[in-house]
Each structure stands twice: as C-alpha cells, then as structure tokens.
Amino acid sequence: MGRVIAALGAAVCILFGGCSTIVKGTEQQISVNTPGVPGALCQLQSPAIGTRTVQTPANVILPKSKHNVAVSCTAQCYSPGISTLGSHTEVMTAGNIVFGGLIGLGVDAASGAMNTYDPSVEVVMTPMPGCGAPPRKRKGVPMASTPIKSQDQPG
C-alpha cells in the first residue's frame, strides 16, 4: 500500500510540475507588526518583490523567493526600526527531489515555491526623547503596590 501511494505521489509530481508549487503555492501571507507602535509605515524590499509599503499591523501576500525581505519602519516620534523577514527552503523540496526529479525541482525553483518565509516579522521601534511619543507598554505581570511601613509608625 505504501508503494502505491509513493508511486501516485511521484506520478502527480512528474505530470503536474513541482510538488511545492502544487501543494504550497507560489505566494505566502505574512504579518508585519511594530509592537506598541500601531500605524507605523513599513517598507518591505527584496529583488523578488521590489518595494511594498504597509501600515502596521498588517498582513501582506508576497511571492515566494529565495531572497530575504528587508523591513524598515518609521513612525512620528519613534526612531526608525529595521528587521529581516527570512526566506528558507521548503521542506517539501526534499520530496520533490525523490518524486519529481530535476523537472519538479526546476519548476519549484523557478516559481519560488521551494521557498518559504518566516510567518511574521516584528520591528522594534524606540520612542524619541522629548518628542511626545507615548512610552512603549512592556509585557509582563504588573507589580502590586504595597505601602511600606515606616519604622516610626506603630504597627
């Protein structure tokens, strides 16, 4: 039974091009966020996508590529922030080598489908002193305020 499934998988990959192209597609949705700074304008740049501008928080669909995406964000009263959206080889590429051979691998490489981006990117931005930016909210557990008893007070 396992051999039949493997043979069918190989036939599909050979007949219809690359496995990753069919199963995962050539585009991917990613999220761009600037924690504590909603409304920041972010530029995403790479040779594959050119330049795209989004306002955070944002979800954007990008064509898959072997190139990382440079992300730079700006907002009034905040220092610009930069980050990178990493591109990695899709795990299905290994199966493509086994089942689809060079043709399937070539299709996935040409279409970008053999690559995958990190699902999200966060760009940290720091308030500029004296500009009026609200302080960034820090994550964590708030501390309870407990009055401190003075040594002079009876207790």
Residue for token pair 């007949």: 15
For the segment 13-39, what is each residue's pLDDT rounded down to a tens digit? 444 444 444 445 779 999 999 999 999
pTM: 0.61
Round the average pLDDT of the chain to a whole number and report it.
73
* Predicted local confidence at residue 45, as pLDDT: 97
